[in-house]
Chain A
Amino acid sequence: MADQRTVRRTAGIVAGLLIALVFLLVIVPGALAIGLKLLGIIDASYARSALRLTVPIAFAGMGGIFAEKSGVINIGLEGLLIISAFSAIAVMWFIGGGGTGARMIALFGGVLASLVVTLLFAIICIEFKADQIIAGLAVWLIALGFAPFGSIVIWETVNSDSVGSFDSLAMPLLSDVPYVGDVLFTATPPVFLMLAAVPFSWYLLNRTAFGKHLQASGEDPRTLDTAGVSVRKVRYMGVLLSGLYCGIGGAGLALNAGQFAGGGETITSGRGWIGLTTYLIANYNPVGAFLASFGFAGLDALQLQIQGVPGVELSSTLIEIIPYVAVLVVLAFVGKTRMPESAGEHYESEE
């Protein structure tokens, strides 16, 4: 798999990120000095917090791959994160109590809510042949309106009450591995789910019949149809998988924080959009999408920690620009991202 093209691509992405960093250094006065100070921040707790912040981005990114590979562009990822984040907290609040078990039920509730909205989106796009971009935007806008509204109904303000967050669990044996164990295997359930989802997604896409059908459906649905596989079913599965992933991502984000914040861009603050950029950067490879998510989350975590460093003032908006600059650089200069041939196009089986 690690052929020359992949290597070149990776090199290009690293270059892209470096260019983005230089861009940052140039526009922020005194950035170099800050950079040196920041090096001191990076430690195990920083890595853990970065990993936690990766959850929503990586799930949105990996989920988006399934939908788009099947030929349905799902730009509603951000909306699905919001819906599931809100629903998970609401479920948590209603069942009350603490404990990891209750939180898993809340997570499941978030996933369910995301799946319902996704199913609606899928029906609109596949059965009624709506424009996928517009339908995706609608998902986001509806979520952006509905979640804070729901919050007000339940808690009388756009922000929910605090319901407590996931506790870190230590995986037996694995957590004792030096360095890695502390970061990767002492974490919250959503982080574990994410770490499992990365190889799972890769295998599903590349080593199963379903993955091949997914790819064929996005490239040339007619061929798949004539091969005797229902394009409709494959596309439903692809889109619903994106809903499942966003559900875990959004619920995981909220339950890691223990609260739903509904002001402005809400608690997700654009992470679904960043997820969208990660799989474009990674050319639809879930492993790459995860790594890109981790990179962006790392910057995000950095930005949070910088607030605590005296004498450094860095606008968080500038940090937030980085993923978009990086995606522009990658698309423009590395340029090997190839969308599925029929992505965004409706398919109508003949009779």
Chain B
Amino acid sequence: MIDQRGVRAGDEGRESTYAVKMDGITKRFPGVVANDDVDFAVERGTVHALVGENGAGKTTLMNILYGLYEPTEGTVHVDGVPREFDSPRDAMDAGIGMIHQHFMLIEPMTVAENVVLGAEPTKLFGLLTDEDAAVEVTRDLAERYGFDIDPTDRIRETSVGEQQRVEILKALYRGAETLILDEPTAVLTPQEVEGLYGMFDELLGEGKTIIFITHKLGEALRAADRISVLRDGELIATVQAGETTREELASMMVGRDVLFDVSSKAVELGDTTLAVEDLVVDDDRGIRAVDSVSFSIDDGEVFGVAGVDGNGQAELVEALTGLRSAESGAITFDGADVTDHSRRQRIADGMSYVAEDRQHRSLVMEYDLLRNGLLGCQRLPAFSNGPLVDWEATGQYVDDVLEQYDVRPPDRSALARSLSGGNQQKFVVGREFERDPSLVVAAQPTRGVDIGSIEFIHNRLLDLRAEGAAILLVSSKLEEVQRLSDRMAVMYDGRFMDVVDPDEVTEEEVGLLMAGEQPDGGAGDR
């Protein structure tokens, strides 16, 4: 494969074998160095992965290549020619196309209209757009690269995988020779990911070059020819995918050895903190989402809930935290019946909540960290001064969280929006954990978070358990639940299929439970 590509690049007889070469790129934002003297080069006709933790500067580097940012220092060469891009249009003219993590598509428009947006084919001396030509050119491109897509479909009627293909077609229509894909697999199902790798092959077959950004090492190793690692804005190394390992990449990314196995399971159970009896919860449409679930969690215990997303976990969590009312059943917390307690009362009772969707539920993106740190605590005596907020105490609390949870930048006046996903989550976890809760409800606490932060959050969760808190961990990542939990329930269709010992159970057994089947045909429903 690699040989073939090398020959193809040579045949074209251009002066440079590098499709893209970035030398000494430095990018400073106010108070932050996002890229620090980065040398990055991509050989033509190869797949090059750019890996690094959230906030390592991957996307910034690629935005520079795509003309969205101007570098503070450094030069960009495309096909051996030095270039300065003032806008994406310049980059496109030079043959660079970028597919962003959040797709840039106009929902009410058709596939073809989106593909040609900004460079529409016209008729009648440029007066009118030529709709037929747009459809035609889109269809031709799709056929050439083997993409299965109907140019006349409206974007809002297409699947996420199709939308990604539209984005690629958009770049190809603009004459892209080098395609940058930002976290292309984040939104795809496993089958769609395989389809994406298939597209890579088609694109390479047409002589294109691919750069893709990821923080999933397995993907980089699977799909790329070469891998560059960024950490804290610096390029650590560029290696051949065939000559490295997951562990080596991970330690380069994080800057220390990463234990892929966090565990410590010395359990000393105390009293029952949370008891749930026959809880029934409906979802927004009034359909039963949680169907008479019962369980209890003791002090110093992690109770895990595994299962495929959408089997009632979200509603269960909302009912426990007071965001959704239960149809029937009882929730007992620290010996008191809290079934009818409001969210505010439950916070005062000592219930912390790490929400699944941090950007909508945990943070106000346009607030600074100081005010975000107060969220949920504003009525607690420790944070108030009579009817007023005690900003001094809040500030101290926030500074503590920033320091202990290694939130970067450690600046309480930074807007939540300006933090990377991993740092946002560390901040939320810190805010909720440092409140000295007796129960933590953690829903997908490490979703969309990089490896280093995942390890950190896991460790804090276990620390909190050691301090005697009860923890409900809900996650669709089976390995996470299995590794951290003392007991683990598997949820399917609103019920607990079984509560198992995570050390004893096999992955196959859990897999069957997650699919709603009892292993060995035994047990029956509980």
Name the one of A215, A226, A350 contacting B108, with C-beta atoms under 8 angstroms: A215
B417 interface residue (CB < 8 Å to A): no
Q: Which one of B100, B108, B117 has the highest number of Cβ atoms from chain A below 10 Å of its Cβ? A: B117
Residues of B within 8 A of A226 (CB): 68, 88, 98, 100, 104
Within 8 A of B (CB), among A201-235: 203, 207-209, 211-213, 215-216, 219-220, 222-229
Within 8 A of A (CB), among B396-437: none
Residue of A nearest to B70 (CB): A351
B89 interface residue (CB < 8 Å to A): yes
Within 8 A of A (CB), among B30-75: 63, 68-70
Name the one of A211, A213, A228 contacting B89, with C-beta atoms under 8 angstroms: A228
B122 interface residue (CB < 8 Å to A): yes
B301 interface residue (CB < 8 Å to A): no
Q: Which one of A203, A209, A216 has the highest number of Cβ atoms from chain B below 10 Å of its Cβ? A: A209
Residue of B nearest to A341 (CB): B107
Residue of A nearest to B69 (CB): A351
Known contacts A208-B129, A219-B106, A228 near B118 by CB under 8 Å: yes
Question: What range describes how many residues of B lie at the interface?
Answer: 20 to 34
On whether the beta carbons of B117 and A208 are closer than 8 Å, the reply is no
B127 interface residue (CB < 8 Å to A): yes
On whether the beta carbons of A203 and B68 are closer than 8 Å, the reply is no
On whether the beta carbons of B68 and A224 are closer than 8 Å, the reply is no
Within 8 A of A (CB), among B289-337: none
Question: What range describes how many residues of A lie at the interface?
Answer: 20 to 34
Residue of A nearest to B68 (CB): A350
B120 interface residue (CB < 8 Å to A): yes
B113 interface residue (CB < 8 Å to A): yes
B364 interface residue (CB < 8 Å to A): no
How many contacting A-B pairs (Cβ < 8 A)? Answer: 68
Nearest chain A CB to B420's CB is how many angstroms away?
A: 16
B250 interface residue (CB < 8 Å to A): no
On whether the beta carbons of B106 and A220 are closer than 8 Å, the reply is yes
On whether the beta carbons of B70 and A227 are closer than 8 Å, the reply is no
On whether the beta carbons of B129 and A212 are closer than 8 Å, the reply is yes
On whether the beta carbons of B92 and A228 are closer than 8 Å, the reply is yes
Residues of B within 8 A of A212 (CB): 109, 113, 117, 120, 129
CA distance A215 to B118 in the complex (A): 12
Nearest chain A CB to B361's CB is how many angstroms away?
A: 22
Name the one of A203, A222, A224, A350 contacting B117, with C-beta atoms under 8 angstroms: A224
On whether the beta carbons of A216 and B69 are closer than 8 Å, the reply is no
Name the one of B87, B88, B113, B128 contacting A203, with C-beta atoms under 8 angstroms: B128
Nearest chain B CB to A103's CB is how many angstroms away?
A: 30
Residues of B within 8 A of A219 (CB): 106-109
Residue of B nearest to A228 (CB): B89
Known contacts A216-B117, A228-B89, A207 near B107 by CB under 8 Å: no
B172 interface residue (CB < 8 Å to A): no
Interface string of A221-257 (1 = CB under 8 A from B): 0111111110000000000000000000000000000
On whether the beta carbons of A228 and B88 are closer than 8 Å, the reply is yes
26 contacting pairs across A/B (C-beta < 8 A):
A207-B128, A208-B127, A209-B120, A209-B129, A212-B109, A212-B120, A212-B129, A216-B106, A216-B109, A219-B107, A220-B104, A220-B106, A220-B107, A223-B106, A223-B117, A224-B117, A224-B118, A226-B68, A227-B104, A228-B87, A228-B88, A228-B92, A228-B118, A228-B119, A229-B118, A351-B70
The 5 closest A-B pairs by CB, nearest first: A228-B89, A227-B118, A223-B104, A209-B120, A219-B106
